[in-house]
Chain A
Amino acid sequence: MRKYNKLIFELSKPGRRAFKLPQSDIEEKNIEELIPEKFLNKEDLNLPELSEVDIIRHYINLSNKNYGVDTGFYPLGSCTMKYNPKINEDMANLDGFKNIHPLQPEETVQGALKLLYELDRALCEISGMDKMTLQPAAGAHGELTGLALIKAYHENRGDTKRTKIIVPDSAHGTNPASAVMAGFETIEIKSTEEGLVDIESLKAALSDEVAGLMLTNPNTLGLFERNILEIAELVHEAGGLLYYDGANANAILGKVRPGDMGFDVVHFNLHKTFSTPHGGGGPGSGPVGVKKILMDFLPAPTVEKDGDRYYLNYNIPHSVGRMKDFYGHFGIMVRAYAYILAMGRDGLKKVSEIAVLNANYLAHKLKDYYNLPENTIYKHEFVMAGLKSELSEVTTLDVAKRLLDFGYHPPTVYFPLIVHEALMTEPTESESKETLDEFAEVMIKIAEEAKSNPEILKEAPHNTPVRRLDETRAARNPILKYEG
């Protein structure tokens, strides 16, 4: 494999072009005649000059430096790196979905509106909620939306005392960040030794100043909150609402629904549970579902049906407003809907069953070498507290870097914060037993290397194009663009 190390600006050569427009048959006028000179930029644009070959080769070579789900196993906990079906890409690229303008008259986009409506209904059925807003652009955005709804609900009741949101210490960072962004203060409650919500801690935190509790179930340790009904009752009795972070929904599809557990508002990550691609960081989509009590506050517009006609409804009495432009990430929703159609009611249940089976199987194979709680049923992911050996010099970071040498993307490291040297692993249902067996073998080999040859771990990775980047330097003296 060639070693490619050029920035696109370094390929630029004066006079090279990759693009030209047709000669216009409209009478050419000088720009200065159309727009006053004082607004115009007379200098050359600071953009590179390249041919199409340059561009293609550059990006293909860059892509070769990347690792995706299509390359191999990607057991990142909390991310649900399942396979991204190719039919979804084809459907999203159909002219009738790709090339419609969001402000077209509704009668010209009935197919799109029908898709959104049906997706709304399907997600409601899966979550046990009454209505969705498809507007949020990602999970964190969904959280912000859900919190805005909770805030509006209390404000509408004239209750302005509720300024706090309770968040478990095991929560994903976006939870407290979203709560603060939504104008709340956070109260962090401790987890039990097992990693579940500490009921006494929760009781102590509840008051008439609490607007709600944010919870992921199963939690970030991959454990199902068995006391969820009690938790829901406590929060509701105290006058608060319950928010479901759907990041871990892959564990419960068709098995249990947040709406039935007592949650008032939920978000899904379509780019996790519903197979849409992670895209190197995005775009995602974070639809939010609510129970009836919150429907009047939903962002406008929602998608509704009247007989055979689908339409956008802006008539939402106490809407919180808009969370983003237009209607949400339609292109992502096309992919998610194709996935729901393909899996269907029985397939989605199978997804969770195999996701959970794969996780428990893999945990079982690793429990003699890595720290895992005894006799635990996991859901779709599990968290190892580092290597079992007494060697404290070999850290989770070293294990992760060594995995790169074997061609694997490592699991999530150092999250959740409540587990020391955390290695959070989520195989997903789209991996085979063979893949899990091979991965387990490598993890065991690494555990053995930690005893016999720790140096090889401390200096890993050895086989990647670049190794152990100097992140301190990057943060102390940030170079955030090419200067030439």
Chain B
Amino acid sequence: MKVLKDLYYTKDHEWLRVDGDEAYIGITDFAQDSLGDIVYVELPEVDDEFNKEEAFAAVESVKAASDVYMPVDGRIVEVNEALLDEPNLLNDDPYKNWIVKIEIADKSQLDELMTSDDYEKYLEEEV
């Protein structure tokens, strides 16, 4: 399973990449692999606000559906509309193809997230 170095991770298999006061969020390689061929991504709307651990999007495959949860509190500033026409992009490269860009509400919450090392260990042990 691919795990990129400079990202934050959650136990629900989301990744987060900080960009100033904003961040990109997506799902990890493990997540896309478990889901199988992704057929649809349900995106939130720009300006929607969510709390940490709230579901803000959903990813569907033929036989399964998964909610995607916020790693931190935030407001949606951009959604990756390419995913609407080509949901398979998440299978092709789940790290390059982010799902949303948010404005982080509380930067201190980043400390509560896993590092890439933590996540790798988590994959080995739990899963």
Contacts and interface: CB of A to CB of B under 8 A. Distances in A.
Direct contact of A and B (CB under 8 A): yes
Interface of A: 414, 471-472, 474-476
Given A414-B63, A476-B87, 9 more contacts: A471-B63, A472-B39, A472-B61, A472-B62, A474-B62, A475-B39, A475-B40, A475-B60, A476-B39
A434 B87 CA distance: 49
Nearest to B39: A475
Contacts of B40: 475-476
Nearest to B37: A472
Contact of B88 (A414, A471, A474, A476): A476
Interface in B59-89: 60-63, 87-88
11 contacts: A471-B62, A471-B63, A472-B61, A472-B62, A474-B62, A475-B39, A475-B60, A475-B62, A476-B37, A476-B40, A476-B88
How would you classify the secondary structure of chain B's contact residues: helix, strand, loop or mixed? Answer: loop
Nearest to A397: B63
Contacts of A471: 62-63
Contacts of B63: 414, 471
A476 B39 CA distance: 5
A227 to B, nearest CB: 30
A476 B60 CA distance: 10
Contacts of A472: 37, 39, 61-62
Interface in B73-126: 87-88
Q: SS class of chain A's interface: helix, strand, loop or mixed?
A: helix
A476 B37 CA distance: 9
A140 B69 CA distance: 29
Interface residues of B, number: 9
A475 B37 CA distance: 10
B3 to A, nearest CB: 23
A398 to B, nearest CB: 15
A414 to B, nearest CB: 8
A295 B40 CA distance: 45
A192 to B, nearest CB: 21
Contacts of B61: 472, 475
Nearest to A414: B63
Question: Chain A CB within 10 Å — which of B39, B40, B63 has the most?
Answer: B39
Contacts of B37: 472, 476
Contacts of B87: 476
A471 B37 CA distance: 9
Contacts of B88: 476
Interface string B32-54: 00000101100000000000000
B32 to A, nearest CB: 13
Contacts of A476: 37, 39-40, 87-88
A472 B39 CA distance: 6
A471 B38 CA distance: 11
B46 to A, nearest CB: 24
B97 to A, nearest CB: 15
A414 B64 CA distance: 11
A414 B39 CA distance: 20
A471 B63 CA distance: 9
B116 to A, nearest CB: 28
**6 tightest CB-CB pairs across the interface, nearest first?**
A475-B39, A472-B37, A471-B62, A476-B39, A475-B62, A472-B62
A476 B40 CA distance: 6
Nearest to A471: B62
Contacts of A474: 62
Nearest to B60: A475
Nearest to A472: B37
A472 B37 CA distance: 6
Nearest to B36: A472
A167 B40 CA distance: 28
A21 to B, nearest CB: 46
Contacts of A414: 63
A471 B61 CA distance: 10
A414 B60 CA distance: 17
A471 B40 CA distance: 13
Contacts of B39: 472, 475-476
A469 to B, nearest CB: 10
Contacts of B60: 475
A256 to B, nearest CB: 36
Nearest to B87: A476
A478 to B, nearest CB: 9
A476 B61 CA distance: 9
Nearest to B91: A472
Nearest to A475: B39
B37 to A, nearest CB: 4
Nearest to B88: A476
Contacts of B62: 471-472, 474-475
- B37, B60, B61 — which one has the most chain A CB atoms within 10 A of its CB? B37
A139 to B, nearest CB: 22
B67 to A, nearest CB: 14
A474 B39 CA distance: 9
A476 B86 CA distance: 8
Nearest to B62: A471
